[in-house]
Amino acid sequence: MKKQLVFIMTDTQRFDMCSCYGKNKGLKTPNIDALAASGVRYERAYTTQPVCGPARSGLFTGTYPAWNGSWANGMALGDNVKTIGQRLRDNGYHCAYIGKWHLDGTDYFGNGFCPDGWDEEYWYDMRRYLEEMSEDERIMSRAAKSMTLTTIPEEFTYGHKVMKRALDFMERYKDEDYLLVVSFDEPHAPFLCPPPFDTMYKDFEFPKDPAVYDTLGGKPGYQKVWAAQKGPQMDRDAVRIREQFYFGCNAYVDTLIGRVAEAAPENAMLMYTSDHGDLLQSHCLFAKGPACYDAVARIPFIIRNPQGIKGGVYDRGPVSHISICPTIMEYFGLPIPKVLQGESILNTTLDANASAPQYAFYEFTRFEQDHDFYGGFQPMRVCTDERYKLAINLMSEDEFYDLEQDPYECCNLIHDPAYAKERDRLHDALIERMYVHRDPFRGWYWVNRPWRTGVPEPSWFDRGWTRQRENEEYEPRQLDFVNGIEMVHAQRFKVNNGNFTYGSLQEMIDFLRDYDRK
């Protein structure tokens, strides 16, 4: 049987902007709803970092942004980091990527060059789109004001052009195995959409949930600085969430998704998600950035497995974008490389009671590498399970939420002794994850938080371990720093040679030869 997988994604689409999630929010996405009815909808799914480029790095490499090098917009993946396209291509599968990429380390639009692993003929990043236009057309395509000054033809939009190329690819290669990524920029700004979507939400007001009424009492100081950019925020009754063209683009991209899903082969697997959400005045905040809140970090996520559940909802716990690459590898019948930092969740498409990883992790380091207009360096690491969420904000106060009692994350319980046991459990899991996955920002400062007792005193040597990469599909096995011989255990305690006395040179050689094998 053919192995075909169509991966569809949007940009800046909150989970509750899809009507199968936000049933009472008033936005309609019938095609995404239909996709959910044909597969499994994941109730709580999280990005790896709530900003465009880093989120995509987690999606398409199976590694966390801090590890793979793309931990801010404008930062390219590390040269030895492999995408899912490279991995599948090297195992004989045809891979095409059509749409926004944002991983080459240049500007928002990309550099126009097809990266290794993907079909050059179908490559269509946003630079290639803009290069088809005159300068006047480029300006019009990037100005939100265009929506009030003219009518945008559907054929002009990036989404339409991406969709048409996707349909062409699926028809042309209908008898072959492949991975096709269809990456829409919509509903991201500048919110260009054709009729009737341009007026569909003209008088619409997005309902305010309790998160909008959170005035940041007891919350981290950096969030108050962030909120202050919009001026005084205390009168939450006066807030009106009116985003006519954003919501119009949300409806428009839903129709594009419908066209792609309808044209996809019946026996193909479909995956759909977005890179991150939008705060939309939740917690007095706007846009995206270093916040642990569901409004920005929780994303829609649906898998249609042709052999799997139809109309299922997976709600046993959170899942993460970090699981997408290993899930794709398993679907194509390939071994999951050790270097990938997530686990496959293919089993959850077959059994709604299947187990998934206990915790989901996500992070933030900075928004933009090339300039400082937004936020600056704001390192954050987050751990969540089926009920609780812990956020360590390295340069500010930390957060802890009971999502069962407080689903809108309004009450910060970080210092509440009644929650100390659960808080510390998530903290331990988070710290362990940072070490096992070689987070380059790891260190004692994440451990020794003001609210945490019973942890080791700060140490310059920290845990004293060495942790080497296992990227052995593409690299020779790394050599041990101590003896120059191929490592046996990638994670091991690093020997301090000064602590040992040897009677002879051979005794030293024998010891160092064997120390990592014990």
Structural domains of the chain sorted by starting position, each given as residue range(s) with its CATH number in brackets: 4-204+243-357 (3.40.720.10), 476-517 (no CATH)
Residue 300 to residue 275: CA distance in whole angstroms? 9
Q: What is the pTM of this model?
A: 0.96
First to last CA, the chain: 46
pLDDT score, position 81: 97
Q: Locate all alpha helices (DSSP H) within 212-243, ordered by sequence.
A: 221-228
Residue 250 to residue 28: CA distance in whole angstroms? 9
Q: Do residues 201 and 247 lie in contact, with contact meaning Cβ atoms separated by under 8 Å?
A: yes
Q: Do residues 486 and 352 lie in contact, with contact meaning Cβ atoms separated by under 8 Å?
A: no
Token readout for 51 is 């900003």
Burial class of residue 299, CB neighbours in 10 A (0-12, 13-18, 19+): buried
Compute how many other C-beta atoms are within 10 angstroms of the C-beta atom of residue 317. Answer: 19
Q: Parallel, antiparallel, or unpaired for β 377-384 and 388-393? A: antiparallel
| Residue where the block lists tokens 């999951």 | 336
Residue 265 to residue 170: CA distance in whole angstroms? 8
Q: Do residues 236 and 10 lie in contact, with contact meaning Cβ atoms separated by under 8 Å?
A: no
- In the residue annotation, 102 being an active-site residue is answered as yes
Q: Do residues 39 and 302 lie in contact, with contact meaning Cβ atoms separated by under 8 Å?
A: yes
Residue 343 to residue 356: CA distance in whole angstroms? 8
pLDDT score, position 499: 60
Cα Rg, the chain, nearest whole Å:
24
| Residue where the block lists tokens 């899903």 | 261
Compute how many other C-beta atoms are within 10 angstroms of the C-beta atom of residue 216. Answer: 19
Burial class of residue 53, CB neighbours in 10 A (0-12, 13-18, 19+): buried
**309-326 tens-digit pLDDT:** 999 999 999 999 999 999
**173-210 tens-digit pLDDT:** 999 999 999 999 999 999 999 999 999 999 999 999 99
pLDDT score, position 502: 76
List 20, 94, 95, 102, catalytic entry:
102
| Residue where the block lists tokens 């690093």 | 494
Residue 488 to residue 481: CA distance in whole angstroms? 12
List 18, 20, 52, 284, catalytic entry:
52
Compute how many other C-beta atoms are within 10 angstroms of the C-beta atom of residue 105. Answer: 17
Residue 382 to residue 320: CA distance in whole angstroms? 12
Q: Answer left, alpha or beta for residue 231, where phi above 0 means left and psi between -120 and 50 means alpha.
A: left
Alpha-carbon separation of residue 420 from 39, 398, 400, 408 (angstroms): 38, 13, 10, 20
Per-residue model confidence as pLDDT tens for the chain (518 residues): 799 999 999 999 999 999 999 888 999 999 999 999 999 999 999 999 999 999 999 999 999 999 999 999 999 999 999 999 999 999 999 999 999 999 999 999 999 999 999 999 999 999 999 999 999 999 999 999 999 999 999 999 999 999 999 999 999 999 999 999 999 999 999 999 999 999 999 999 999 999 999 999 999 999 999 999 887 667 899 999 999 999 999 999 999 999 999 999 999 999 999 999 999 999 999 999 999 999 999 999 999 999 999 999 999 999 999 999 999 999 999 999 999 999 999 999 999 899 989 999 999 999 998 877 788 899 999 999 999 999 999 999 999 999 999 999 999 999 999 999 999 999 999 999 999 999 999 999 999 999 999 999 998 888 888 888 899 999 999 998 888 999 998 988 876 655 667 789 998 888 888 877 76
pLDDT score, position 483: 87
Backbone torsions φ then ψ of 260, nearest 5 degrees: -65, -45
Look at residues 212, 211, 216, 240 and name the one whose alpha carbon lies nearest to residue 227.
216
Residue 160's identity, in one-letter code, is H
